[in-house]
Amino acid sequence: MKFWMPFFAPSLGTVAGSLRKRGTRVITILDNLIPHEKRPGDLALIRYFLRRNDGFIAMSKTVEGDLKQFLPKAVRLQLTAEERSADILSAAGRMPALREAKYVLKPHPIYDHFGGAISSTEARDKLGLPRDKRIVLFFGFIRDYKGLDTLLHATAHLSEDYCVVIAGEMYGDFTKYEQLIDEAQVRSRCKLFIRYIDDTEVPAFFSAAEVCVLPYKSATQSGIVQIAFNFNLPVIATDVGGLAEMVEENVTGLILRSHEPQALADLIEQYFEQNLREAFSRNIAQRRHTYSWAGFAEAILALYESGLQR
Please report, for the domain that includes residue 236, its CATH number.
3.40.50.2000
Going along 71-199, which residue ranges are E strands?
Answer: 75-76, 101-105, 134-139, 162-167, 190-193
275 plus 167 within the same structural domain: yes
Number of domains in the chain: 2
The model's pLDDT over 212-244, given as tens digits with 9 standing for 90+, comes to 999 998 866 678 999 999 999 999 999 987 787
CB 218 within 8 A of CB 145: yes
In a domain, 69, yes or no: yes
The model's pLDDT over 109-118, given as tens digits with 9 standing for 90+, comes to 888 889 889 9
Average pLDDT of the chain, as a whole number: 88
Cα separation, 138 vs 163, whole angstroms: 11
In a domain, 95, yes or no: yes
By DSSP bridging, strand 2-3 and strand 162-167 are: unpaired
170 plus 151 within the same structural domain: yes
Cα separation, 254 vs 97, whole angstroms: 40
167 plus 277 within the same structural domain: yes
In a domain, 162, yes or no: yes
Tell me what percent of the residues of the chain surpass a pLDDT of 90.
65
CA dist list (Å): 67 to 30, 46, 76, 102, 289: 9, 10, 11, 11, 27
pLDDT at 61: 85
The stretches of 146-251 forming alpha helices (DSSP H) are 148-155, 175-183, 202-208, 223-230, 243-246
The model's pLDDT over 159-192, given as tens digits with 9 standing for 90+, comes to 999 999 999 999 889 999 999 999 999 999 999 9
Local confidence band at 60 (pLDDT 50, 70, 90 cut-offs): confident
Domain range spanning residue 105? 2-109+292-308
Return the closest-CA partner of residue 210 out of 164, 257, 156.
164
pLDDT at 288: 84
141 plus 251 within the same structural domain: yes
Given a cut of 60, whether residue 122 has pLDDT beyond it is yes
Residue 28, SS3?
strand
pLDDT at 131: 96
